[in-house]
């Protein structure tokens, strides 16, 4: 067991290599009534083609299967997980993203009993054709619900426009058609690949200590032989697929998503690159830029305007979203703004203010055990620690930021997606 | 952590609620003002936006935001929302604990100074708010109201409420609010701001691990200086529906939304509250609830189907997203589950699960300043009940009380936002 400390924040957590092969991170918080546990696997919607070390060919599975598996794992031959949690009072949930699936609960009481449920149901799959079929109706409605959400649709329209091959372009839940091809056997194939303990992590934060966690882990977890998973690295062309796409939905005003596709030579961005990217976005159109105020006052955008550095295994993009009466005009303004900043560079005083803000925001996250547990899972899958952010920020220089600003954003390599109202 | 709020009276009808949370990373400060919903509604809506974006000292949004970034990215928010038939305007700031600043700065006092400047010294002159700024704020508010349509679940809910409470202030129509917002003038905004400061019920909340004395002093100076004649907010409680009204609206959608409005038989916000709270949760709260287990899990009709009690209005709302062709099946099942509740046919396990989950959530409230602040914001004009008091109240509810609460439910309105079959 290793203790990892951050003196300035006065925070610490413990890292344990459990004998079962699972990495366990425990972050005790004094004075907290709640505990929050998250059991995550590095497996998400983009993992549609994979093989284990030693296998000859890649296995291809239907779109949306990671999310489908997440739903089905809650079931067992006897009581399903929700029925078991109902006895402990814990509030439980799960989610699937592009590159991970996480099962979680929070509670103020009966922590060990709830942790036992979590570790037990995630390590004991039970899939049958009948239960798979039942879920198709529920997930079908989840998919339809998302297809009416303009912000969500706009993002996926953009991803489909930017990417030719990479599975980030497919909806996390798949489509009504793709999930119809899911079978119990396919679920077991995915489960046996990605739910190996060596591909997973357990993060617990709040009113807990490492001994309690270990006691339950020792009892429930069986040792697993580690596996080596190979994800297909999709040959993604440098150019975007389409520069402009448009869809129609019942919306009040047009909604746009503008994305600049970054060239990626390695599958993943480092934490430092992610942090620098956030500094750059603040400098481009943060709330303290005259550019943002002008967007708002000119009537081109409103307070729904937002931006995001969007990156994962094999993809990275700079994405800007919002409501606008004229998406082309916003596009032109943003392209102009980025090019100008690439020429002049970010000023030292602006950099210092942004860095201070991001430092403050990083500190604020350490109140919230839900954010801490999520942050630990994300950091672990990147091979980093949740305390690294504050340190990287403190030592960051404006030259490093300007260097990335000039090389990572190619303003010619972009797509614009617009959702317009129904005619 | 057991934390009892300290309550001080710092002006006529101005309450200061202080909760000290040991060693937390942030300090949260909120200024909450509650006025009758039907009075200056449009102006108060615009005020929430106007006050947040400028002040005499920081006349532009850019300057306000620069100031916030100087305070280590202090997070500022402002909004209006209904609290029964009151309209609650809330200005909040969250900043990091003074001890965690890189240079030892005391940012909690600076954050409060900014917050007070925004509320007390807005961008105005000679009895009128700045006309240029107002134009922008009116547009932002109008777009915000119109954009509710983009969130179909929220849209369907507010449509149902509009129909159900059309005779009550609570049913405030969106179209009327929108029209009102567009008609706000620099003078009417100024008058509404004055009225708000003089007559609103005001609650100030300070939560965190900051030095409280200087904050209290600043607050007393500002709020003590206004002459006030606070007026109470009253809410119409309709105890029972006379008959069921049905409304269907067509829209090109992939998923249809079914929203049901019930009257809970409450006479005020405290009337039978704990039993109502548990009844709503067994009926349609967590994944152990009747609606989740039956409408979703057994019949596979939906992804979500849940019930929510609005204590301050005495209504219960059931929301679900379904295929258009399943409307009757979903409606029948929801009503069937209500009758299960009314007949006391829910299990002891379901009741225990619900009580355990509700209590668990209350027990976690005191963990962070953010959740403490959010929790107490519901008690602007009523004595604050601690989370521990909530737990005690929930624990005392038994099967008979839940059954009795369910029997008091009457269905008032069925609203259906109908998507086309061809899009399904």
Predicted confidence (pLDDT) per residue in B85-94, tens digit: 999 999 999 9
Residue of B nearest to A109 (CA): B360
Catalytic residue among A11, A63, A70, A282: A70
- Alpha carbon B20 to chain centroid distance? 24
What Å distances lie between residue A417 and A165, A255, A284, A292, CA to CA?
Answer: 18, 8, 20, 21
Between positions 14 and 33 of B, the ones with CB within 8 A of A are 21-26
Bridge partners, A255 (sequence order): A323, A419
Residue A362 contacts residue A390 (beta carbons within 8 Å): yes
A vs B, Cβ pairs < 8 A, gives 198
- Inter-chain residue contact A252 with B369, CB threshold 8 Å: no
Query: Is it the case that residue B361 has pLDDT exceeding 60?
Result: yes
Residue B48 contacts residue B89 (beta carbons within 8 Å): yes
User: Which residues, in sequence order, are CB contacts of B414 under 8 Å at separation 6+?
Assistant: B244, B245, B246, B247, B258, B259, B260, B261, B331
Chain B residues lying within 8 Å of A87, measured CB to CB: 349, 352-353, 356
> Whole-angstrom Cα distance, residue A220 to residue B277?
36
Structure tokens at A319: 């994405």
**CA quadruple A363, A366, A368, A374: dihedral, nearest 10:** 110
Query: Which of A145, A149, A393 would you mutate first to test chain B, the one with the most B CBs within 10 A?
Result: A145
pLDDT of residue A8: 84
Confidence (pTM): 0.92
Of A141, A299, A357, Cβ closest to residue B69: A357
For A263, which DSSP code? P
What Å distances lie between residue B303 and A71, A98, A146, B334, CA to CA?
Answer: 11, 20, 11, 14
Percent of chain B with pLDDT over 70: 99
ipTM for the assembly: 0.89
Band of pLDDT at residue B421, cut at 50, 70 and 90: low
- Inter-chain residue contact A250 with B359, CB threshold 8 Å: no
Chain B residues lying within 8 Å of A73, measured CB to CB: none
Chain B residues lying within 8 Å of A33, measured CB to CB: 1, 363-364, 366-367
Bridge partners, A316 (sequence order): A311
Chain B residues lying within 8 Å of A147, measured CB to CB: 254-255
Mean pLDDT of chain A: 95
pLDDT of residue A301: 96
Q: Mind spelling out the 3-state secondary structure of chain B?
A: CCCCCEEEEEECCEEEEEEECCCCCEEEEEEEEEEECCCCHHHHHHHHHHHHHCCCCCCCHHHHHHHHHHCCCCEEEEEEEEECCEEEEEEEEEEECHHHCCCCCCHHHHHHHHHHHHHHCCCEECCEECHHHHHHHHHHHHHHHHHHHHCHHHHHHHHHHHHHCCCCHHHCCHHHHHHHHHCCCHHHHHHHHHHHHHHCEEEEEEEECCCHHHHHHHHHHHHHCCCCCCCCCCCCCCCCCCCCEEEEEEECCCCEEEEEEEECCCCCCCCCHHHHHHHHHHHHCCCCCHHHHHHHHHCCCCCCEEEEEECCCCEEEEEEEECHHHHHHHHHHHHHHHHHHHCCCCCHHHHHHHHHHHHHHHHCHHHCHHHHHHHHHHHCCCCCCCHHHHHHHHHCCCHHHHHHHHHCCEEEEEEEEEECHHHC
Cβ-based neighbour number of residue A183 at 10 Å: 14
Structure tokens at B256: 């249809």
E strands along A22-89, which residues? 23-28, 35-41, 49-52, 59-60
- What is the tens place of the pLDDT at every residue in A148-183? 999 999 999 999 999 999 999 999 999 999 999 999
- What is the tens place of the pLDDT at every residue in A5-46? 998 888 999 999 999 999 999 999 998 999 999 999 999 999
- Inter-chain residue contact A360 with B25, CB threshold 8 Å: no
> Whole-angstrom Cα distance, residue B212 to residue B98?
12
Q: What is the pLDDT along chain A (423 residues), one digit of tens a residue?
A: 999 999 888 899 999 999 999 999 999 999 899 999 999 999 999 999 999 988 899 999 999 999 999 999 999 988 899 999 999 999 999 999 999 999 999 999 999 999 999 999 999 999 999 999 989 888 998 998 899 999 999 999 999 999 999 999 999 999 999 999 999 999 999 999 999 999 999 999 999 999 999 999 999 999 989 999 998 878 899 999 999 999 999 998 999 999 999 999 888 899 999 999 999 999 999 999 999 999 999 999 999 999 999 999 999 999 999 999 999 999 999 999 999 999 999 999 999 999 999 999 999 999 999 999 999 999 999 899 999 998 899 899 999 999 999 999 999 999 999 999 987
Query: Which of B58, B72, B78, B319 would you mutate first to test chain A, the one with the most A CBs within 10 A?
Result: B72
Residue of B nearest to A35 (CA): B364
- What is the tens place of the pLDDT at every residue in B181-231? 999 999 999 999 999 999 999 999 999 999 999 999 999 999 999 999 999
pLDDT of residue B423: 42
Between positions 216 and 275 of B, the ones with CB within 8 A of A are 251-255
Of B61, B301, B364, Cβ closest to residue A108: B364
- Inter-chain residue contact B1 with A360, CB threshold 8 Å: no
> Whole-angstrom Cα distance, residue B292 to residue B182?
42
- What is the tens place of the pLDDT at every residue in A302-321? 999 999 999 999 999 999 99
pLDDT of residue B424: 37
- Inter-chain residue contact A288 with B65, CB threshold 8 Å: yes
DSSP H or E stretch at residue B14: strand B14-20
């Amino acid at each position: 067991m290793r203790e990892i400390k951050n003196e300035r924040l006065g925070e610490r957590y413990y890292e344990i290599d459990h004998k079962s092969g699972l990495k366990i991170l425990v972050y005790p918080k004094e004075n907290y009534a709640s505990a929050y546990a998250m059991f995550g696997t590095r497996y998400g919607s983009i993992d549609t083609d994979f093989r284990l070390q030693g296998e000859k060919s890649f296995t291809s599975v239907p779109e949306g299967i990671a999310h489908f598996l997440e739903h089905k794992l809650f079931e067992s031959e006897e009581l399903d997980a929700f029925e078991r949690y109902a006895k402990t009072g814990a509030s439980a949930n799960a989610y699937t993203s592009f590159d991970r699936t996480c099962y979680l609960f929070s509670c103020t009481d009966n922590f060990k009993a709830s942790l036992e449920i979590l570790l037990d149901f995630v390590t004991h799959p039970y899939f049958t054709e009948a239960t798979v079929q039942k879920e198709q109706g529920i997930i079908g409605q989840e998919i339809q619900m998302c297809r009416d959400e303009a912000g969500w649709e706009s993002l996926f329209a953009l991803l489909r426009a930017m990417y030719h091959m990479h599975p980030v372009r497919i909806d996390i839940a798949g489509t009504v058609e793709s999930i119809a091809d899911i079978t119990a056997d396919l679920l077991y194939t995915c489960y046996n690949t990605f739910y190996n303990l060596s591909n997973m992590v357990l993060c617990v934060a709040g009113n807990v200590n490492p001994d309690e966690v270990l006691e339950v882990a020792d009892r429930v977890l069986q040792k697993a032989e580690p596996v080596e998973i190979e994800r297909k690295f999709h040959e993604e062309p440098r150019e975007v697929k389409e520069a402009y796409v448009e869809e129609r939905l019942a919306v009040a005003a047009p909604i746009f998503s503008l994305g600049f596709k970054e060239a990626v030579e390695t599958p993943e961005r480092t934490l430092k690159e992610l942090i620098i990217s956030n500094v750059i976005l603040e400098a481009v159109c943060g709330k303290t830029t005259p550019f943002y105020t002008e967007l708002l006052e000119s009537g081109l955008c409103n307070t729904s305007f937002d931006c995001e550095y969007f990156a994962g295994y094999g993809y990275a993009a700079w994405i800007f979203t919002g409501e606008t009466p004229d998406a082309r005009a916003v596009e032109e303004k943003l392209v102009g703004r980025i090019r100008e900043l690439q020429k002049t560079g970010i000023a030292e005083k602006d950099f210092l203010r942004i860095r201070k803000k991001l430092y403050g925001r990083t500190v604020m996250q350490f109140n919230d055990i839900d954010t801490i547990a999520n942050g630990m899972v994300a950091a672990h899958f990147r091979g980093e620690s949740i305390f690294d952010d504050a340190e990287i920020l403190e030592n960051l220089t404006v030259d490093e930021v300007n260097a990335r600003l000039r090389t990572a954003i190619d303003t010619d390599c972009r797509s614009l997606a617009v959702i317009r109202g129904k005619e | 952590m057991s934390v009892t709020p300290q309550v001080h009276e710092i002006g006529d009808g101005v309450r200061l609620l202080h909760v000290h949370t040991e060693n937390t990373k942030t300090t949260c400060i909120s200024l909450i003002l509650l006025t009758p919903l039907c009075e200056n509604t449009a102006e108060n809506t615009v005020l929430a936006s106007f006050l947040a974006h400028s002040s005499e000292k920081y006349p532009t949004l850019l300057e306000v935001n620069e100031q916030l970034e100087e305070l280590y990215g202090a997070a500022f928010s402002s909004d209006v929302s209904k609290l029964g038939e009151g309209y609650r305007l809330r200005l909040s700031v969250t900043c990091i604990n003074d001890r965690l600043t890189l240079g030892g700065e005391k940012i909690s006092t600076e954050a409060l100074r900014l917050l007070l400047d925004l509320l007390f010294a807005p961008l105005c002159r000679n009895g009128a708010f700045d006309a240029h700024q107002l134009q922008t704020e009116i547009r932002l508010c109008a777009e915000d109201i119109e954009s509710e349509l983009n969130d179909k679940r929220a849209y369907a809910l507010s449509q149902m409420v509009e129909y159900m409470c059309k005779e009550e202030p609570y049913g405030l129509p969106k179209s009327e609010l929108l029209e009102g917002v567009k008609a706000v003038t620099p003078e009417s905004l100024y008058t509404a701001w004055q009225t708000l400061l003089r007559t609103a019920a005001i609650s100030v909340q300070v939560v965190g691990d900051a030095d409280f004395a200087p904050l209290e002093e600043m607050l007393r100076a500002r709020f003590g200086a206004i002459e006030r004649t606070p007026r109470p907010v009253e809410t119409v409680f309709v105890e029972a529906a006379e008959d069921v009204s049905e409304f269907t609206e067509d829209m090109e959608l992939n998923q249809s939304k079914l929203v049901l409005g019930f009257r809970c038989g409450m006479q005020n916000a405290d009337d039978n509250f704990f039993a109502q709270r548990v009844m709503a949760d067994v009926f349609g709260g967590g994944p152990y609830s009747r609606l989740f287990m039956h409408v979703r899990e057994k019949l596979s009709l939906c992804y979500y189907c849940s019930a929510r009690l609005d204590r301050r209005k005495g209504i219960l709302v059931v929301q679900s997203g379904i295929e258009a062709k399943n409307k009757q099946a979903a409606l029948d099942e929801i009503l069937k589950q209500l009758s299960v509740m009314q007949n006391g046919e829910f299990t002891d396990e379901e009741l225990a699960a619900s009580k355990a989950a509700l209590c668990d959530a209350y027990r976690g409230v005191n963990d962070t300043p953010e959740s403490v602040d959010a929790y107490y914001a519901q008690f602007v004009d009523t004595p604050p009940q601690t989370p521990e008091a909530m737990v005690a109240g929930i624990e005392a509810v038994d099967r008979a009380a839940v059954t009795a609460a369910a029997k008091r439910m009457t269905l008032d309105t069925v609203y259906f936002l109908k998507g086309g079959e061809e899009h399904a």
